[in-house]
Amino acid sequence: MILFGKGFIVEELLEKNGYVLRVVEATTIDTFATMLGMEVKPTAMTVETKNTTSNAGLMAVLGMAGAVSGSGSLCMSEKLACRAASRFLMSDYSEVNDEVLDAISELCNMIVGGLKTTLEEQYGPMGLSMPTVVYGKDYLTRSSNLGRRINVCFQCTDDNFSDEFYVGVCLITENSNRSYLSELAAFHARLAS
């Protein structure tokens, strides 16, 4: 069971930040369908109200820098990670090992890479970091103080198996140094409203 932290579901978020969030939805659905043959459905969005979120399972994270800066992450339970890696690598995994960790970080790379490509079309060139994957129980994550993470939650159903996972994005636009602070303030205002 994934703990979604102290977030709250924001219905109007999709409308206000629809561009980014729809890209997250589309790239996640496409990646799971193409690489895993698994159907996933977006269920909710949460916004971090505080900077810390409790997690259990795996979290893969990629940094983005350039016209838009921030990070994208993929968080799921051990059970789903093993299931996804089994589909991805066409082998059976009943427990998390290096291959499962690598498979999940690669899935995250594909999802965040798709988001980056779409954002570049509107904002300009960006770079991607190498993926990092964290695995454990009862750990905390913290997003930058400059932005707030929006989590797009998904339901994954595969035969008799069903579980939830989420893709988190924490992004700040930076068109120029002069407009940076005002854009940042506007970004926070949009998220808070």
Partner 1 sequence: MSLNVLIVDDSSAIRKILQRVLRQVEAPISEIFEAADGVEALAVLESQKVSFVLSDINMPNMDGLQLLSEIKNRVEFRSLPVVMITTEGAQNKVLEAVNLGAAGYVRKPFTPEQIKEKLVGIV
Q: Which residues bind partner 1 (CB under 8 A)?
A: 30-31, 34-35, 85, 88-90, 98-99, 102-103, 105-106, 109-110, 112-114, 116-117, 120-121, 125, 128, 130
Residue 53 bridge partners (DSSP): 141
Cα–Cα distance measured from residue 186 to residue 169, given in angstroms and rounded to the nearest whole number:
17
CB of 93 to partner 1, least distance (A): 11
> Smallest gap, in angstroms, from Cβ of residue 106 to partner 1?
5
Q: Which is nearer to partner 1, 31 or 53 (CB)?
A: 31
Tell me the residue type at 100: V
CB of 113 to partner 1, least distance (A): 3
29, two tokens: 């659905």
Residue number with CB closer to partner 1 (10 or 100): 100
The amino acid occupying position 63 is G
Identify which of residues 78 and 120 has a Cβ nearer to partner 1 in the complex. 120
Contact predicate 171/64, CB 8 Å: yes
Q: Is 35 or 134 the residue whose CB approaches partner 1 more closely?
A: 35
Tokens of 110: 């594909």
Taking Cα atoms as reference points, which of 55, 49, 45 lies closest to residue 154? 45
